[in-house]
Chain A
Amino acid sequence: MNPVLEVSGLTKQYDGFRAVDGLTFALEEHTATALIGPNGSGKTTTLSMLAGLLRQSSGTIRFNGAGNDPRSTIGFLPQYPNFFPWMTAMEYMELAAGLSGLGSREVRTACEKTLGFVGLGSAGKKRLGGFSGGMKQRLGLAQAIVHRPALLLLDEPVSALDPAGRREVMEMLKELGESTTILYSTHILNDAEEMTDQLLFLRNGQMIEQGPLHEVRKKYGGSGYRVLFADRKAAERFAGAAPWDANADGQAVTISGESVSMEELLRFAAEHSQGITDIGRASIRLEDIFMKVVEKP
């Protein structure tokens, strides 16, 4: 596969400190990559450099298949998009689409379609000054995708939204991900888990871990099983009786995937079925990986 974006040794030096320090990674076509890290780890600076807002101190950024101006192949959504309060949503979209090079004839339909896609179909004539935070975020997404960019750069696309809004935007991103390459930063790890092919962990501007989700998962504990019980006592009894490595934690017992097969576990559980309410596979959560990676010396 051909990477859409190749970044090598990307560094941003400010007086006295490096906000971004030697990042190297590539984005394959039509994949979603999550840029994860604590506050101040350089996520926004990285995205700003990729979007062409900031010039890197050193390193290279290569867009494959982009014309003279790589900005025409990018859609960018900042964490808090700012709009002209005196404009209407439709006027803004038409300006954005026109500036990104859409022909005058396609502008109108593209804008209507995109506003509809992000759920602002009926807000086209509203002034942006009266938009709520959630509506601004949606319009932010709309202006980023209206010219159908090959690469979407999203800075914390769902962090400012309520759970319902978050769900909707995640669904939109998943749909977009089928035809677009997406790089997004987030600290909402449940969401990242849902829509990520590749993970990039940043800390203090450095890449401290990267790789496909399943590989990172394997590296930090892999998968196992989780058995749920009606009460804590039953869980403890089960863990005590089990012949393999089993940890009781409240009403749940987790069992490492390396020590036992599903078949063996089920056979054992059939004999000790008292109090079991649920049994299944459990993989290490991204949140746990995040804590391990970030705290890694």
Chain B
Amino acid sequence: MRQFSLFLGKEWREQARSFKLVWVPLVFIFFGALEPLTYHFLPQILESVGNLPEGAAFTLPEMSGADVYASLTGQYQTVGLLVLVLAFMGSLSGERKSGTGTLLYVRPISYAAYYLSKWTAAVGLAVLSVWLGYGMAATYIVQLYDPVPGFPDVVLFLLVMSVWIAFAVTLTMTASAALPTGGAAGAALGILFIGLMIDGIVGAYWTWSPWKLQAYGLAFLTGSPDSGDLAGSLGVTAGLTILLVLSGILLARKNASKAKV
């Protein structure tokens, strides 16, 4: 426990001093503000940009608050995941490559404390960023759109999203424990995006999957998701996350010998 808090202090300082603590949330807040504003002011934007032929007319779909949340979620599923993977892809592999890890590994450290401190800091920052991003979006949505989802439904949606984000970050961390930084980024992005693609194309054949969590979460905003499917997906995701954490700890220990001396 002592080692965990020492390591966590180090991670916290590193995030603060490398400004990760600032730019990761900023990216999410930026998209959170941009999405509702763009849709709301789209007609005016098109008008002021001009260059439209005489008599051109658009029928823009009437967006509800839930639609904007869904659209923002689409952004977070691409740009957001990319940012998170890039932010955390080197958290273990970087310390091996630079040799800064070497002087930690020669001490009587617990690799569980080592991995879990990084995991806590990364998942904490990622989930916080996502909440801040949706929070930003919510402040505009309640003012500019109608109807808007109720507050408790948005919180339920965010809780489900948090489980998905934690899974994505855990995958990145364990990839970083297993592989060099470049390979870790490739593996994490590959699994996340190929998973989303496969689920999008043939996902009708199954109902329990981490990649479906966003859809089930969004369903809270328009009604309610099938509780069995949601529970199943949450269970599968939690199970996979735990497996990833355990293998991440083992891999961090195993790969300590690859640290630069």
Contacts and interface: CB of A to CB of B under 8 A. Distances in A.
A100 B99 contact: no
B108 A100 contact: yes
Interface in B1-34: 2-3, 6-7, 9-10, 13-14, 17-18
Contacts of A83: 100, 103
B259 interface: yes
B261 A155 contact: yes
Interface string A51-94: 11111000000000000010110101011111110110001000
Contacts of A104: 2
Given A53-B259, A95-B6, A82 B106 contact: no
Interface string A131-172: 000000000100100000000000100000000000000000
A143 B104 CA distance: 10
A96 B107 contact: yes
A22 to B, nearest CB: 20
B99 A78 contact: yes
Interface in B83-102: 98-100, 102
A84 B14 contact: yes
Q: Which of B7, B99, B261 has the most CB of A within 10 A?
A: B261
B108 A84 contact: no
B14 A86 contact: yes
A186 B106 CA distance: 20
A297 interface: no
Contacts of B107: 71-72, 96, 99-100
Of the four ranges (under 10, 10 to 19, 20 to 34, 35 or more), the interface on chain A belongs to 20 to 34
A44 interface: yes
A82 B99 contact: yes
Interface majority SS on B: helix, strand, loop or mixed? helix
Interface in A228-266: none
A98 interface: yes
B10 A95 contact: yes
Given A98-B6, A99-B109, A55 B257 contact: yes
A101 B102 CA distance: 17
Interface in B233-247: none
A82 B102 contact: yes
Interface of B: 2-3, 6-7, 9-10, 13-14, 17-18, 98-100, 102-109, 256-257, 259-261
Interface of A: 44, 48, 51-55, 69, 71-72, 74, 76, 78-84, 86-87, 91, 95-96, 98-101, 104, 140, 143, 155
20 contacts: A48-B261, A51-B106, A53-B105, A53-B261, A71-B109, A72-B107, A78-B261, A80-B99, A82-B260, A84-B14, A86-B17, A86-B18, A87-B13, A95-B9, A96-B107, A99-B6, A99-B109, A100-B107, A104-B2, A143-B103
Given A91-B13, A99-B3, A100-B108, 20 more contacts: A44-B261, A48-B261, A71-B107, A72-B107, A74-B106, A76-B103, A78-B99, A78-B102, A78-B103, A78-B261, A87-B10, A96-B103, A96-B107, A99-B6, A99-B7, A99-B104, A100-B107, A104-B2, A140-B103, A155-B261
